[in-house]
Structure 1
């Protein structure tokens, strides 16, 4: 039985992982949504990685699944416990010494989002249109209620690894993602994780809410 550690992005709790947790459990695996201390200014990326290790409790067969900003903390888990694989779900990929605050300009993410907004005619203040455009209205409203404050401590901290960990890594690119559009992701990966070819899955930036079954199948490599 594989244990999947589900590492959230910025300013979220474990609620939005629950549909994927149910799908992975139904398929005979253990899924652990990780609660990160995202509103604690004393907690940095290393603390986030420690929280993942504590949550999985010495799992023998561990795969770490990281969403969005989770791409900064998930690789650090590999320095603490044996990890069989990393699965990045529309995640940020850092370079050594780079902070998440620097990442947008360094990768061109901000420009890609502005171009996407222009194509869609989206108001920059329309959070639902950015993150939850492909989920039911009731789900989107519930997601907004589960948003948490995100401390700037890990956001401004330089990524502490000297290189990406030597662990098999997969990247799940979300077809309808507005925040990290497909063309942007392909360019970013080609520059930062050479040899990792993104795998397309349906959904926007939160496919665990809109297409949990398809996401589970992709996480499992099926």
Structure 2
């Protein structure tokens, strides 16, 4: 039995993972959805990583799945506990010395988003469309209860490692994400990981819109270990 360690993105309670948790448990796996101190102004990336370590406890056979901003936390976690596989799910990929708040400019995100909005003929600022354009409306309505505030503290200090962790890593890209456009993410993955991402349908929140397919993908990765 593997343990899937699910690291949320910004301003997110662990409840965002509940549909994926159900799918993975139905397949006989253990799941830990990490509760990050995202509203605590005293907590930075080190505290986020420690929260994950504490949630894991003495579990082993770990597959870490990181979403969005969670990429900064998960890569630190891999230096603190033995990890069999890191799966970056539409996640931000750090580089040494880069603070999360600098990632946007360093990757050319704003220009990529403007170009995507122009291609789509979409007005910027529609949060529901931006994050949930491929999630059923009833699931979107329920997701509101998992929203949290997000402190700016973890955005300020540089990611502290000299290199990305030496852990088997896969990047799973969702093709229909309007927040992190696919063309932009393919480039970032190529530049920062040197790999071609795997792709699946879905918006920025595939754990809600496509939990079964996401579980199938993760289990396929596990079978290859």
Give the TM-score taking structure 2 as reference length: 0.95
- For 1:88, the equivalent position in structure 2 comes to 88
Secondary structure, aligned partner of 1:91: coil
**Moved beyond 6 Å, runs of 4+:** none
User: Would you say 1:200 and 2:199 are equivalent positions?
Assistant: yes
Query: Where does residue 9 of structure 2 map in the other structure?
Result: 9
Task: Provide the residue aligned with 2:178 in structure 1.
Answer: 178
TM-score norm. by structure 1 comes to 0.96
Superposition deviation, residue 60 in structure 1:
1.6
RMSD of aligned residue pairs (Cα, Å): 1.1
Show structure 2 runs of 5+ residues with no match.
none
Q: Describe the superposition over 1:82-103 as per-residue Cα deviations: whole angstroms up to 9, x where unpaired.
A: 1111000000001101011111
Aligned residue pair count: 221
Q: Decide whether the 8 Å contact of 1:94 with 1:100 is kept in 2.
A: yes
Unaligned runs of 5+ in 1: none
- Matched position secondary structure for 2:95: coil
| CA deviation vs aligned residue, 1:32-87 (integer Å, no higher than 9, x gap) | 11110000010010111111111111112011100000000101112211111100
Deviations 1:97-135 (A, max 9, x none): 101111111111111111111222322221001001111
Whole-angstrom distance in 2 between the partners of 1:124 and 1:58: 45
Q: Distance in 1 between matches of 2:26 and 2:56?
A: 18
Query: CA offsets, 1:159-215, max 9 Å, x none?
Result: 011100000000000010111111111111111111x22001110100000110100
Once residues 120 and 202 of structure 1 are traced to their aligned partners in structure 2, the CA distance between those partners, rounded to angstroms, is: 17
Matches within 5 A, 1:66-105: 66-105=66-105
Mapped to 2, the partners of 1:181 and 1:214 lie a distance apart of 20
Q: Secondary structure at the match of 1:114?
A: helix
How many angstroms does 1:144 deviate by?
Answer: 2.7
Q: What CA distance in whole angstroms lies between the structure 2 residues aligned with 1:55 and 1:145?
A: 22
